[in-house]
Amino acid sequence: MTITDTVFRNLPALNTRQCDVLKLVAFAAMVLDHLNTASGLNDTLLQAVGRLAFPLFALVWGCNVIRRPVTQTGLNRLWLMAMLAQPGFWLAFRDTGVQWWQANILFTFAAMGQAVRFMQTPCRCTAFVSLLTLSVYIPASGASYELRGLLLLLMSALCFMTTGRQQMMAAAGLATSVLLLNAPSGGVMMLSGLLLSLICLVVVCRHIPQGERLPGGRWFAQLYALHLAVIGGVLCLT
């Protein structure tokens, strides 16, 4: 039995504390990567570490959307935080070529969340909203992984929706989507994203027991907007 067999067979059993740990690890990696990019340091090691951030966020997102139904109220809050984060996102990365209209990663989760809401409660209204949000988001997604990001979120959800052989197929699709996610950055970053994410997932699955939620686990969207505002503000003052 391989490590991946063990991990992906246990995916449906991810508890809330494990999800919080994965989220906090991903957030720390993301902040390091953003500081590395925004400052112009462009250190290769920090770039490699940063490649695990979105795959881990996607995995936790996939677990959460299957664990409880997606509500429009929750999505509205996420859309609001995405809009609040956008000025900081542009200020932080405008020197790297990011345009003001290019969406931050919260828009990726919100757009895919609308698609999941349609799948969970299919009707004309949710279908229209899903198609509208995707049609608006995709042209603006150049700074947030484009269709590759949506594919990764979809495969993450499928890993928790399926069991047995179907889950293993979804896991293979998830691994492939992680590789594709970082394909524009080259082979080293592709492998870094996959291997570091897998190592982190194995460690958390094996060594983090059920327990109370971690304080920062509930506030990803708010912390995301805050750290971008800080980075963008500092760059404006220097």
> Can you read off the two tokens belonging to residue 154?
């979809």
Interatomic CA distance for residues 52 and 60, integer angstroms: 13
**pLDDT in the model for residue 8:** 53
37-89 per-position pLDDT tens digit? 999 999 999 999 999 999 999 999 999 998 888 999 999 999 999 999 999 99
pLDDT confidence bin for 182, thresholds 50/70/90:
very high
Helix %, strand %, coil % of the chain (to 5)? 80, 0, 20
**pLDDT in the model for residue 3:** 45
What 3-state class would DSSP assign to 213? coil
Interatomic CA distance for residues 19 and 217, integer angstroms: 8
Interatomic CA distance for residues 75 and 112, integer angstroms: 10
| CB proximity list for 208: less than 8 A, separation 6 or greater | 15, 17, 18, 21
pLDDT confidence bin for 9, thresholds 50/70/90:
low
Ranges of beta strands (E only) in the chain are none
Q: Classify residue 12 as exposed, middle or buried by CB count within 10 Å of its CB (0-12, 13-18, 19+).
A: middle
Contact 171, 4 (CB under 8 A): yes
114-164 per-position pLDDT tens digit? 999 999 999 999 999 999 999 999 999 999 999 999 999 999 999 998 888
Contact 227, 31 (CB under 8 A): yes
pLDDT confidence bin for 4, thresholds 50/70/90:
very low
Interatomic CA distance for residues 1 and 206, integer angstroms: 15
> Can you read off the two tokens belonging to residue 200?
């982190």
198 pLDDT higher than 50 = yes
Averaged pLDDT score across all residues of the chain: 92
Task: Please give the residue that has the higher pLDDT: either 12 or 180.
Answer: 180
> Can you read off the two tokens belonging to residue 231?
């980075």
**pLDDT in the model for residue 66:** 87
Contact 75, 113 (CB under 8 A): yes
89-106 per-position pLDDT tens digit? 999 999 999 999 999 999
**pLDDT in the model for residue 164:** 86
203-228 per-position pLDDT tens digit? 999 988 887 787 766 788 999 999 99
Contact 177, 148 (CB under 8 A): yes
pLDDT confidence bin for 113, thresholds 50/70/90:
very high
**pLDDT in the model for residue 7:** 52
**pLDDT in the model for residue 68:** 86
Interatomic CA distance for residues 176 and 30, integer angstroms: 21
**pLDDT in the model for residue 211:** 79
First to last CA, the chain: 54
**pLDDT in the model for residue 235:** 94
